[in-house]
């Protein structure tokens, strides 16, 4: 399985709690419709380090596919096109950082 991770920042002027709600309740079902998607995880940041201060980002999203070929096919679908289109309603698209990591589970 391959996984794409995306660091998500809230759009300026949008309340952090509202952005988290939108991400989970509205955006997640849009992502879930992407053909070939095997796993979708939202790691929502609710506090800064050691619980102090504001969260430094909204969270980290993870989408997983069985193979690179299935990922490429999925990214070419109308269902995937809807994902970044909707993300722009709550996410700072200029601050998106995404990549395909190689996972090394240590523990």
User: Is 80 within a domain?
Assistant: yes
User: Is 60 within a domain?
Assistant: yes
pLDDT digits (tens, 9 = 90+) for 33-78: 999 999 999 999 988 887 677 888 999 999 999 999 999 999 999 9
User: Is 59 within a domain?
Assistant: yes
User: Is 100 within a domain?
Assistant: no
Share of the chain above pLDDT 70, in %: 99
- pLDDT exceeds cutoff 70 at 93: yes
Number of domains in the chain: 1
Place of tokens 């950082």: 97
In CATH, what number is assigned to the domain containing residue 42?
3.30.70.100
pLDDT value for 42: 97
pLDDT value for 47: 83
Q: What is the pTM of this model?
A: 0.89
User: Exposed, middle or buried by CB within 10 Å (0-12, 13-18, 19+), for 19?
Assistant: buried
- Residue 105 region by backbone torsions, left for phi larger than 0, else alpha for psi between -120 and 50, else beta: beta
Which residue range(s) make up the domain with 26? 2-94
């Amino acid at each position: 399985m391959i996984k794409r991770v995306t660091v998500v920042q809230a759009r300026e002027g949008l309340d952090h709690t509202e952005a988290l709600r939108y991400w989970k309740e509205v955006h997640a079902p849009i992502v879930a419709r992407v053909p070939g998607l095997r796993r979708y995880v939202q790691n929502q940041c609710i506090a800064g380090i050691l619980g102090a201060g504001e969260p430094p980002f909204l969270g980290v999203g993870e989408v997983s596919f069985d193979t690179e070929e299935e990922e490429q096919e999925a990214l070419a679908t109308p269902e995937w096109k809807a994902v970044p289109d909707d993300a722009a309603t709550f996410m700072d698209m200029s601050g998106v950082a995404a990549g395909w990591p190689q996972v090394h589970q240590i523990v």
